[in-house]
Structure 1
Amino acid sequence: METARMRHSRPRMAIVDPNTLAMLGLKQILQNVVPIISVETFSTFEEFEKAGPNTFFHYFVAQNIVLENRQYFTEHIQKTIVLTITKDPSAQLSGFHSFCINVPEEELVKTILRLEQHGHSGGKNLPEMPQVLKNKILTNREIEVLALLVQGYINKEIAAKLCISLTTVITHRKNITEKLGMKSVSALTIYAIMNGYVDINKI
């Protein structure tokens, strides 16, 4: 019954972390990366338990909460992503997916995108993206500029690669941000990956 409900509604993700600021920041990024999901936050394991953990696709859980409730999360290891503050493998829990939150926003976004692509390649198991997000808004040239931009190329390099002038690149970038309503490279990266304009392994 729960599984059927999960299939026909927005996928639910849970964040369990006593650090309110970290939790809210991660919630915002998750909703930007995967707009079709619903993210719920809990500051304690008890709150999370009352909400019915089986109805969530994934849990992002602070390492101390995983340690305090290790048996539960070990039984749900495929759904659990441990939030850590270090990338040091020796400080991470073996067997669990770990996710370091102590990195710049762009790196967080890329990590979440990799998780999403790995877990649901091509959107498998996830509902359809809203039509407005699937519509082709950009021209072919703008898509080329966007793809190079999110791969880390600067305006001068984009101009050289596409054999166009620097002024033209700047105009395309302005059009891209105006059409999409996005200014940050993180937001543009999410858009480019989710629309298949750039391979996640190239960013």
Structure 2
Amino acid sequence: MTNEICKKPSIAIVDPNTLAVLGLTHLLQSVMPVIEIDAYASFAELEANHPERYFHYFADMRIVLAHMAFFQTMRHKTIVLANSAVDDASALGSFHTICTNQPEKQLLRSILMLEQHAHANGRNLPPVAHVHNDNASLLSSREIEVMSLVVKGYINKEIADQLNLSLPTIVSHRKNLMSKLGLRSVSALTIYAVMHGYVDVNDIRTLSL
């Protein structure tokens, strides 16, 4: 494997809002842990750091509008960070857009949908050298069923009724699958299930954080 293939894909966030950058970085690393993220407060900083090497740009809408010539040529790589869903819709119609002024759960859903549909659950990302979680192969078919229903937003009693199992059995399955996957929260389980193609993000009733 060449050094180029071994490199992690890199994403650039171009936004002067430091708090927004920190929050987006956290969410992106949760959804796509194989990526590296660089943050820039201005287009000038991005331009000075070989921007062509990035797999994606998450760029503030004002920066995209001010440097449209560059981002138009890179629009397949560009995700515009807008303050609302209708901001400059006519000018940004050809770009993927994420509204950052929304609850964290909805922002996570938007990022998961982008990854799921644009990257085919990670299959369209560049090849990288990373360690797969072999524990996933140890999940039983029943544990996968339980995981799917948990991620979709069903509570234990509803899952027990759907699978015709006792409540203690469901609780036991939940503990076992979380232990096997090394996860500690429903949000982490949700990200895992969507990223690995077990659940479609559109089938999730609520996102837990």
Contact 2:12/2:57 (8 A) holds in 1:
yes
Counterpart for residue 188 of structure 1:
189
Contact 1:109/1:190 (8 A) holds in 2:
no
Gaps of 5+ in 1: none
> Match of 1:124, SS?
coil
Counterpart for residue 115 of structure 1:
114
Aligned partners of 1:37 and 1:29: how far apart in 2? 12
Counterpart for residue 150 of structure 1:
151
Aligned partners of 1:66 and 1:110: how far apart in 2? 23
- TM-score, L = length of structure 2: 0.84
Q: Any idea what the Cα deviations from partners look like across 1:126-155, whole Å, max 9, x if unmatched?
A: 225733335424332222111111112122
Aligned partners of 1:143 and 1:166: how far apart in 2? 17
Tell me which amino acid in the other structure corresponds to 2:71.
F
**Aligned pair 1:99/2:121, yes or no?**
no
Aligned partners of 1:9 and 1:111: how far apart in 2? 26
Where do 1:151-170 residues align within 5 Å?
A: 151-170=152-171
Aligned partners of 2:178 and 2:188: how far apart in 1? 10
Counterpart for residue 26 of structure 1:
24
Tell me the CA shift for residue 91 of structure 1. Answer: 4.8
- TM-score, L = length of structure 1: 0.86
Counterpart for residue 141 of structure 1:
142
Counterpart for residue 130 of structure 1:
130
Aligned partners of 1:115 and 1:25: how far apart in 2? 17
Counterpart for residue 177 of structure 1:
178
- How many residues matched? 200
Tell me the CA shift for residue 201 of structure 1. Answer: 3.4
Counterpart for residue 36 of structure 1:
34
> Match of 1:121, SS?
coil
Change in CA separation of 1:89 and 1:144 when aligned onto 2, cut-off 3 Å: farther
Gaps of 5+ in 2: 205-209
Tell me the CA shift for residue 89 of structure 1. Answer: 6.6
**Which has the larger displacement, 176-185 or 9-18?**
176-185
Aligned partners of 2:102 and 2:175: how far apart in 1? 28
Aligned partners of 1:125 and 1:57: how far apart in 2? 9
Tell me the CA shift for residue 66 of structure 1. Answer: 1.0
Contact 1:6/1:55 (8 A) holds in 2:
no
Counterpart for residue 53 of structure 1:
51
Identical amino acids, percent of aligned pairs: 48
**Which has the larger displacement, 163-172 or 178-187?**
178-187
**Aligned pair 1:69/2:67, yes or no?**
yes
Counterpart for residue 10 of structure 1:
8
Counterpart for residue 203 of structure 2:
202
Aligned partners of 1:10 and 1:36: how far apart in 2? 6
Contact 2:133/2:181 (8 A) holds in 1:
no
Change in CA separation of 1:202 and 1:112 when aligned onto 2, cut-off 3 Å: same
Tell me the CA shift for residue 181 of structure 1. Answer: 3.8
Q: Any idea what the Cα deviations from partners look like across 1:31-63, whole Å, max 9, x if unmatched?
A: 111111111111111111111110001100011
Aligned partners of 1:155 and 1:89: how far apart in 2? 41
Tell me the CA shift for residue 23 of structure 1. Answer: 0.5
Higher helix share: 1
Tell me which amino acid in the other structure corresponds to 1:53.
P
Contact 2:7/2:128 (8 A) holds in 1:
no
